[in-house]
Amino acid sequence: MMARRSTRILSLIALAGLLGPACGSRLPLTELAAPYAGHDVSPGPAAATGGPSQATATAPLANTEINGSAPAPVDAAVSPATSGKATVAGAAAGTANPRAGAPAGSRPESRAASARPQAGGPTSGSAGAAPPGVAPPASVSNAPILIGTVGVDSGIVGAALRPGVPALRSWAASVNAAGGLKGHPVKVISADDGNDPARHRQLVQQMVEKDKVMAFVYNHAPLSGQSSVDYLTAKRVPVVGDNGGAQWYYESPMFFPQFTVGTPYIKAIIAGAAPETAAQGKKKLAILVCQEAQFCLDADRIFPQEAPRHGFRLVYRAQSSLTQPDFTAECLGARNAGADVFAVVADGNTASRVAGACERVGYRPTFLLGHHSALLLSHATQKPLDGMITVLPLRPWFDATNPSVAAYQQGIKTYAPGEVPSNPGFTGWVAGMLFGAAANASPDPTTSAGILEGLWALKGETLGGATHPLTFRRDQNAPQTICWFAIRIANGNFESTSAGRELRCE
């Protein structure tokens, strides 16, 4: 089906999804969503065993599949073959393995891993850990905690954001293997909205009103997610964790980002890169931003304002299109202006093409990637990108000296062996950890009101050092905090920068 769609439209969607999460795209959303009009995605109904109900889906969402009675393998992720159907993963009530505390239907190796402390997550606020002084239950036996995740899992955009979904499922599996959250198993319903705002709104409403989810976790919907803000705010259903840039997470008291997002993240990019480039004696900045995505245009506005504050001198500034086949002119312009730091605010493939064009004309600046969602694992193997800096809003996914990262890596290995640890994967895992922290702090984790109480009870929660200290106040928007970690590519590997090994904040 994808082969029959316009290549240009898909490319624009990809860029907006990877780099436009703050405010959407300049293109009409209907135009961006059009290639996905054939996707009918719905969570299914709840079965008597504790899964979703058997109510019939509305006509536009008739293509539905659910397996709430017998839990799906927890590493089952939405793929092109199943992207038009909602899936459920987790333990249903009464289906726990009494010997290992793992949900029935999980892989044999997951049951063996249930005794590993990493799988449940570390320290206070970690996803399956019991509150201090309280031993976790030996098995999962109470009513399930049902959470939803709605976003784009198909197409080119989904290729960038999808890894967070199997990571969230793996988090839920590790929690259930450790006894659940206060004895309650966690069940995840996921659905692909195809980047369609109307479908996103419809899916969210169905999950709330028919499937009775009490919260959404990792709603990875950069172009469509804003359509459900008013509904979720009115219904007082919390949304925990973003994919990395939606400014609306600071505009409703029902939204709880797990790290710095939106406009504050744009400011963090400049602040995080400056110490590393200054140590190299590099202060002349060039910026190249895309024309198609709002995040790019916001960066084009904010970077020149922030650069002088952090010792940069802006010497070159340009915009380009995602469909542009060659960037030789931009590389020559930046080189002739004397720029020794080149910020590219675009998707990951564009960053690769820019670096290649600059290499061909003998121009080798230090590259700065303009959004962490654009970071590709393959960037490390591309010689022209050696030395590239990326500013992350959470601890690097490869820093296994941190217990939260180690838990994530172990969780992926145990419950999603087909996945590779990555930055977007850790983003989904940390969103799950934040929900777990709220559930453990809640008087009743099985209701939306109870989860809200748990979120408001968090004071300076870092989720085991995965993010900046999180504090949420009752019925107030999340505070806009500017914090970051910084990494670079060195000799074919990702590593923390000398100034970015620990959390930095403004």
Q: Would residue 467 count as lying in a domain?
A: no
Give the separation between CA 351 and CA 343, rounded to whole angstroms.
9
Contacts of residue 26, Cβ cutoff 8 Å, sequence gap at least 6? 291, 292, 293, 294, 297
Give the separation between CA 136 and CA 183, rounded to whole angstroms.
7
182 and 78 co-located in one domain: yes
Give the separation between CA 119 and CA 134, rounded to whole angstroms.
18
218 and 121 co-located in one domain: yes
* Other CB atoms within 10 A of residue 447 CB: 15
CB 45 within 8 A of CB 66: yes
Side chain identity at 386, as an amino acid letter?
A: D
Q: Provide the CATH number for the domain around residue 371.
A: 3.40.50.2300
Q: Would residue 237 count as lying in a domain?
A: yes
Q: Would residue 468 count as lying in a domain?
A: no
47 and 157 co-located in one domain: yes
Give the domain extent around 323: 263-392+484-505
411 and 351 co-located in one domain: no
Give the separation between CA 103 and CA 51, rounded to whole angstroms.
13
Run of H or E including 344: strand 341-345
Indicate yes or no: pTM above 0.95.
no
Q: Would residue 80 count as lying in a domain?
A: yes
Give the per-residue pLDDT at 10. 39
Q: Would residue 477 count as lying in a domain?
A: no
Q: Would residue 28 count as lying in a domain?
A: no
CB 346 within 8 A of CB 17: no
Side chain identity at 189, as an amino acid letter?
A: I
Give the per-residue pLDDT at 244. 76
Would strands 87-90 and 186-192 be described as parallel, antiparallel, or unpaired?
Answer: antiparallel
Helix (H, G, I), strand (E, B) or coil at 258: coil
Helix (H, G, I), strand (E, B) or coil at 461: strand
Q: Do you know the residue count of the chain?
A: 506
144 and 116 co-located in one domain: yes
In the chain, the largest separation of any two C-alpha atoms, in whole Å, equals 69
Q: Would residue 478 count as lying in a domain?
A: no
Give the separation between CA 434 and CA 422, rounded to whole angstroms.
18
275 and 151 co-located in one domain: no
225 and 339 co-located in one domain: no
73 and 166 co-located in one domain: yes
292 and 306 co-located in one domain: yes
Number of domain units in the chain: 2
Give the separation between CA 295 and CA 374, rounded to whole angstroms.
12
Q: What are 390's two structure tokens?
A: 């990326």
Side chain identity at 133, as an amino acid letter?
A: G
108 and 181 co-located in one domain: yes
Block means of pLDDT (10 residues each) for the chain, 506 residues, are 41 42 34 30 31 31 29 33 44 34 33 33 40 42 90 77 93 97 96 92 97 96 90 98 87 97 94 94 96 83 96 96 89 98 91 96 97 90 96 96 97 96 95 98 96 98 98 98 97 91 93
Q: Would residue 4 count as lying in a domain?
A: no
* Other CB atoms within 10 A of residue 149 CB: 29
Give the separation between CA 209 and CA 44, rounded to whole angstroms.
12
Helix (H, G, I), strand (E, B) or coil at 444: coil
Helix (H, G, I), strand (E, B) or coil at 487: strand
371 and 387 co-located in one domain: yes
380 and 494 co-located in one domain: yes
Phi/psi class of residue 194: alpha, beta or left (left: φ > 0; alpha: ψ in -120 to 50)?
left
| Sign (positive or negative) of CA dihedral 436, 373, 151, 289 | positive
* Other CB atoms within 10 A of residue 340 CB: 19
Q: What are 472's two structure tokens?
A: 């949420």
The last residue of a domain, from among 457, 473, 496: 457
Give the per-residue pLDDT at 374. 86
* Other CB atoms within 10 A of residue 142 CB: 18
Radius of gyration of the chain (CA): 22
Q: What are 361's two structure tokens?
A: 């004309």
